[in-house]
Chain A
């Protein structure tokens, strides 16, 4: 839905990597190798990636380049991983909505 499939001058058509399956909060979804965890979350309609532990405020992707630490999620049991700079792997287990520092 939010994966761009239109061709334009500045966005020539691309072919994504091989189709794989990942788990988001217990549901299995399609993803393509080369995509980041954040991209797959966004493509599946997720906007809140985690809550702050001080005030339980929702946070999503913000800087997109690995410096703000807002988009962290749990990946394969490891908490606080920056989803914007982590590429998906086949069978990856992603959990959103956890609380993290700040």
Chain B
């Protein structure tokens, strides 16, 4: 017997858990499928269940997740959805899931909301595959969730306010932040947009706290600068930085380098489901085409949050609410039009703010041109920039040919670490030669799964 649910929510981050909270009060069966041990996503990463807060402080996370207990809500943790099969004749979806004992391997859902989030956008340079170079996300998780400092002397390279927040966390944890390198200029332009910051008090006060600890600790921030190389014998010992426009390089002794160049959407699942996607140069990835109610081109399948373009937590929350109300009304539940109008208003305001941040701190795509041929682009198959440039010189400008020739994107991360860079390299070319949408080739499983979980699918699943 395959289990059936009314509403499946994939991903337990801000978009996903807010959607569940909104739906809980109605008479529907909801299932959240989350690949982490606890809800919260990357933004509200909780400490492990085995850890306890000392003193009985009332924590933000506890307040957020305690209300998520209801008889009509099932939370599947440590479970990965690796395929979504629309079954339009039955007006439902078949989800394939992989997980430990107790996790159903198949689930039928009448409506689906995908909110898998985003991951750190790759920024390749020679040595970015050395131990000691990690994403800003990895450092955040180690500090916030594991209470571990991944090094002692840090250089943060990237762009935007998340780097300031990481610097603050590292300093709070007792690490030495030697330098922050931001590829973009100091955000003077923000002054012209002050009215849009009205009401963003929580964020502004957070920002002030970060800056105060950066200034107090005397950490220099180099705007308009980039990292060009990481060096060391077996692991990072120093970083080579310089102006983003090129010129004089400087060597800084550090043992850890954290890269925070924004995010790229983790849209593999919505791609696999067959929904239409557009390439977004801003996010370096493919984002689902959506209606006003955030439904994809597959009826009944909604996509929200950072996997649809990085808008951050508040955009994700508003989108989660809006999509779930859309899904519920398709399930013949009466939703008040005022509620929807109010969420839309909120969403537009948050989107505007996210857009300003994106404009102030864009991904420095042009820096790839300054990187030498030995820069690894595909970490799994160790394909270099030189390999790709050579193949492209012979006229192999599309994903399929480059894959066949170089094996780019064919390793175990399934392109998550190189696809954004590859897309950036081939997209201007592809569009000139064959305007319109690039044919996407993403197939199940969305993430490597064990053979065991496939076998338990039963014979004939694919037929």
- Point out residues on A near B: beta carbons under 8 Å: 2-4, 6, 8-18, 32-36, 38-39, 42-43, 47-49, 52, 54-55, 57-70, 84, 87, 101-102
Nearest-neighbour CB distance to chain B for A73, whole angstroms, equals: 13
Q: Are B146 and A59 in contact (CB under 8 A)?
A: no
Knowing A17-B48, A87-B48 are in contact, say whether A4-B54 is a contact too (CB < 8 A). Answer: no
What 12 new A-B contacts, CB under 8 Å, besides A3-B149, A64-B135, A67-B416?
A9-B172, A10-B172, A14-B147, A16-B50, A34-B49, A42-B148, A57-B382, A62-B134, A62-B138, A62-B379, A63-B416, A64-B134
Contact A54 B413 (CB under 8 A): no
User: Does residue B73 face the partner (Cβ distance < 8 Å to A)?
Assistant: no
B447–chain A nearest beta-carbon distance, Å: 7
Partner of B412, one of A13, A18, A48, A102: A102
A97 to B52, CA, bound (A): 33
Chain A residue contacts of B144, Cβ below 8 A = 11
Q: Which of B125-133, B306-314, B315-323 binds A?
A: B125-133
B143 within 8 A of A: yes
Contact of A64 among B52, B142, B168, B235 (CB under 8 A): B142
Which of A2, A18, A65, A70 contacts B379 (CB under 8 A)?
A70
Query: Which residues does chain B contribute within 8 Å of A63, judged by CB atoms?
Result: 119-120, 134-135, 137-138, 416-417
B99-133 near A? 1/0 per residue, CB < 8 Å: 00000000000000000000110000000011111
Would B148 and A4 count as touching, CB distance under 8 A? yes
Pairs of residues from A and B, 4 with the lowest C-beta to C-beta distance, nearest first: A64-B138, A60-B131, A34-B50, A17-B50
Classify the secondary structure of B's interface with A: loop
Listed by A's residue number, 27 A-B pairs whose Cβ atoms lie within 8 Å are A2-B150, A2-B151, A3-B149, A6-B174, A11-B147, A12-B59, A15-B52, A34-B51, A48-B131, A57-B129, A58-B131, A58-B235, A59-B131, A60-B130, A60-B235, A62-B138, A63-B416, A64-B134, A64-B139, A64-B140, A64-B141, A65-B137, A65-B138, A65-B141, A102-B379, A102-B382, A102-B412
In the complex, what's the smallest C-beta–C-beta distance from A38 to chain B, in angstroms?
8
CB of B370 to closest CB in A, whole Å: 22
The chain B residue with its CB closest to the CB of A72 is B412
**B73: min CB distance to chain A, Å:** 24
Residue numbers in A under 8 Å from B382 (CB-CB): 52, 54-55, 57, 102
Chain B residues with Cβ below 8 Å from A60 are 130-132, 134, 235
Contact A39 B148 (CB under 8 A): yes
B411 contact set on A, CB distance < 8 A: 69, 101-102
Residue of B57, B59, B139, B149 most packed against chain A (CB within 10 A): B149
Chain B contact residue count (CB 8 A cutoff): 58
Chain A residues within 8 Å of B132, by CB: 47, 60
- Closest Cβ of chain B: how far from A40's Cβ, in Å? 9
A16 touches B147 (CB 8 A): yes
A59 to B143 alpha-carbon distance, docked (Å): 20
Interface centre among A52, A60, A101 (most CB of B within 10 A): A60
CB-CB under 8 A from A64, the residues of chain B are 134-135, 137-142
Report chain B residues within 8 Å CB of A70.
129, 379
Q: Of A48, A65, A69, which is in contact with the most chain B CB atoms at under 10 Å from its CB?
A: A65
Which B residues touch A55, using CB under 8 A?
382
Give bound CA distance, A101 to B33, whole Å: 29
B35 close to A (CB within 8 Å) = yes
CB of B47 closer than 8 Å to a CB of A: yes
Please, how many angstroms separate the alpha-carbon atoms of A67 and B144 in the complex?
19
- Chain A, residue nearest B234 (CB): A58
A32 proximity list for chain B (CB < 8 A): 50
Closest to B171 in A: A8
The yes or no answer to B250 lying at the interface (CB within 8 A) is no
- Report chain A residues within 8 Å CB of B438: none
- In angstroms, Cα B301 to Cα A53, docked, is 40
Min Cβ gap B101→A in Å is: 15
**Bitwise interface map of B from 157 to 194 toward A, beta carbon under 8 Å scored 1, else 0:** 00000000000110011100000000000000000000
The reply to whether B150 and A4 form a contact with Cβ atoms under 8 Å apart is no
